[in-house]
Amino acid sequence: MITPELKDSVLNAICNCGLQYEVMYRIPKKEFFSATELSIDNNDFVSIMSQFQRKGFIEHYANTYSVIPILLKIEATDFLQRGGFVAQEKCLPTIL
């Protein structure tokens, strides 16, 4: 299940893995998962990354077998500094 906490973990891993903003990278998937210690299945990862792209946190993402093509945008760290998805979830009104 994809939770706000999981999305924040993925976004935090991307923002804190040493990428510069507005630079295109092709990160080997195995190295990224090993370095960030993320525990997530590939389908959830692809879904979350696709959402990040739609939200404007990253660009050039494509689902590939061995690499993560990515361009990090400053909007990603801005969102995290405001509390990320967990804070966003807490601010939404509960609908019965």
Q: Output the pLDDT for position 96.
A: 52
- For residue 28, pLDDT over 60 is answered with yes
- For residue 68, pLDDT over 80 is answered with yes
pLDDT mean over 11-16: 96
- Looking at per-residue pLDDT, the higher value among 78 and 91 belongs to 78
Q: Please report how the helices 74-81 and 4-15 are oriented relative to each other, as an axis angle in degrees rounded to 10.
A: 130
Q: All domains of the chain, ordered by start, with CATH?
A: 4-90 (1.10.10.10)
Q: pLDDT tier at 72 (50, 70, 90 boundaries)?
A: very high
- Helix then strand then coil, in percent of the chain rounded to 5, is 50, 15, 35
Q: Output the pLDDT for position 48.
A: 97
Contacting residues for 86 by C-beta, under 8 A, at least 6 apart: 4, 5, 8
> DSSP code of 21?
B
Token reading at 36:
């960030």
Strands (E), the chain: 24-28, 58-59, 67-72
Q: pLDDT tier at 90 (50, 70, 90 boundaries)?
A: confident
